A and B are shown apart, each in its own frame.
Chain A
Amino acid sequence: MSNIEITKNILTARFDAINPDSIDEYISHNGYSALKKSLLKTGEEIINDIKTSNLRGRGGAAFPTGIKMEAVLKAYGSPKYIICNADEGEPGNFKDRYLMEKDPHQIIEGIIICAYATDIKHGYIFIRGEYINAINIMRKALEQARVKGYLGDNILDSGYSFDIEIYTGAGSYVCGEEFALLVTIEGKPGRSTYKPPFPTTSGLYNKPTQINNVETFCNIPHIINMGGEEFSKIGTSSSTGTKLISLSGNIISPGLYEVELGTSIRDIINKLGNGIPNNRKIKMVQIGGASGPIIPENMLDIKLDTKEMKKLDLCFGSGAIIVMDDRIDVLDILKRITEFFHHESCGKCTPCREGLTQMLILLDRFTDGIATTNDLALLEILMETMNQASICGLGQAAPIATQKVLEYFREEFTNKICSTDS
């Protein structure tokens, strides 16, 4: 797998080539052709194709999409639901907003194909309330799809009926977490719950529910059109396809880039982002967003590959890359990240709610210059507890950035210790 192309436009191929308000332009660019092909296949055939493609979820957890679909298909219970998670709120990410604003029908086509394969009649697109333009564009696109007969009763005379409703969030990061999202649709505050059972068996209204990220759904029509086998040749053996990268921070050309999986972070920063402004040097890079790890400059040759990154206990998450130059104070950034999680914690479980409060107190002791060796030990135990005992991904992932800084930039903490406890 040596021929990795840095830029490979599959999901973004129609960006700016079509008017997102026009379903006809989408159709004229090969749109809804994958749906027509899918309606001639059985659900099992479609799921097998997706399994062959080795597509993994693009929301951050990288769970194999085909296996999730199979679980929903086999799950007992009716009705079943399908949900497109467009509650993008991970700081540093903006890919889902672009996907909705620039090619809304690609998402809708992907959802319909998945729903057909798992025999689901009702779908939701959960869009965060702040994304007002995206909400309006998606609403309009759904209406156009209904008029054309791609949604509604008896889709394209196939005998299959399905429709999608838009649900808008009301400002809460944790609602991007599966169970918090589900209870929000049920009209409650977005507080997660223990797993298992997983949504595939007990999701919305305790019924089997398939939840996927916007970008994951966008891949589906392409897998159907090119075939799972062909799709699996893109990228690496453990990470197939492309990935949308939200590149931001201290970078000359920030923006959204689609890269073939297997591309190195350094290539993305230098060849797509054109490097760092003002002749500064890179100090650190945060991957995936606020819940992702912070790595030093000498690790940037790592490739976007689940397996390779896992060896170092890293992951590329939802694909944000936030570049920070050598002026940036690490502890200052960690405080801001921790404040974000502290604000967004739902408060349900103690490790997350109290852990974040205590993390902020401890981080303050370091920045105030009054920390002791005991504070450092306490911080590490506290974060480990949060990883292990928080009930949802928010609390589990909230300390990751700080933990990785302790791994790669330990002196940033030890230099601030003013006394040693006896």
Chain B
Amino acid sequence: MLVKEALDKYGKTPDKLIGAMLAYQKSTLCNYLTEEDIKEFAKETKIPESRIYSIASFYSLLSMKERGKYIVMVCYDVPCYINGSVNVVNELEKILEIKMGQTTTDKLFTIEYSSCLGCCDKAPALQIGATLYGNLTPEKISSILSTYRGKKDE
């Protein structure tokens, strides 16, 4: 998807901007917006580049750092924490051989902390795309990740 295509689909007015930026970012291979993308959004919408940048850097779901195809969002908050989210993070870091916030060398996974995912009744939880995984134990992590390996494009 091109920046222009995203804006044509969502609209070029300020109220449609964040939606268009999210949709465009999702269509990129590495889940992020480049400086060129920011300039392109500014040019197409005639909204100042500084404001586009301030949006891209403000919201957690937008990134200006190259990321993996799948973002593994792990809840950082108290209900998950007291039910063992630290063990889940350790297991993710061990299997993927990266630290929190980093991307695997094959550019498939990025692990990020997320604010509450609204899944506290199944804590600890993580989310990949639209799918929530709850009641996690370290033993479950490997099979969750393997479903995304070798997965065809959606």
Contacts and interface: CB of A to CB of B under 8 A. Distances in A.
Interface residues of A, number: 52
Contacts of A184: 18
A409 interface: no
Contacts, number: 136
B51 A130 contact: no
Q: Point out which of B19, B55, B120 has the most chain A C-beta atoms below 10 A from its C-beta.
A: B120
A328 B84 CA distance: 12
B120 A92 contact: yes
A131 B118 contact: yes
Nearest to B45: A187
Given A170-B59, A170-B60, A172-B58, A130 B78 contact: no
A336 B77 CA distance: 7
B118 A94 contact: yes
A328 B77 CA distance: 14
Interface stretch (B93-101, B122-130, B140-148): B122-130
A20 to B, nearest CB: 16
Given A130-B61, A171-B60, A93 B118 contact: yes
Given A130-B61, A322-B78, A170 B18 contact: yes
A185 B118 contact: no
Given A89-B116, A187-B47, A172 B60 contact: yes
Contact of B123 (A129, A248, A286, A337): A248
Contacts of B13: 187
Given A171-B60, A187-B47, A255-B121, A92 B116 contact: yes
Contacts of B1: none
B79 A130 contact: no
Contacts of B76: 336, 339-340
Given A130-B127, A187-B14, A187-B15, A254 B116 contact: no
Contacts of B51: 188
Interface in A159-203: 167-173, 184-190
B108 to A, nearest CB: 20
A237 B2 CA distance: 58
A93 B77 CA distance: 11
B31 to A, nearest CB: 13
Contacts of B132: 133
B117 interface: yes
Contacts of A70: none
Interface in B53-103: 54-55, 58-62, 73, 76-79, 81-83
B28 to A, nearest CB: 15
A56 interface: no
A17 interface: no
A171 B120 contact: no
B115 A246 contact: no
B137 interface: no
Contacts of A133: 130, 132
Contacts of A168: 18-19, 22
A171 B121 contact: no
B114 interface: yes
Given A92-B78, A336-B81, A186 B14 contact: yes
Q: Which 9 A-B pairs have CB atoms at the shortest separation, nearest pair first?
A: A187-B14, A171-B60, A171-B61, A170-B59, A248-B120, A91-B77, A132-B130, A189-B58, A91-B116
7 contacts: A89-B116, A89-B118, A190-B59, A290-B78, A322-B78, A336-B78, A344-B115
Interface of A: 88-94, 96-97, 128-133, 136, 167-173, 184-190, 246-250, 254-256, 286, 290, 320, 322, 324, 328, 333, 336-337, 339-340, 343-344, 346
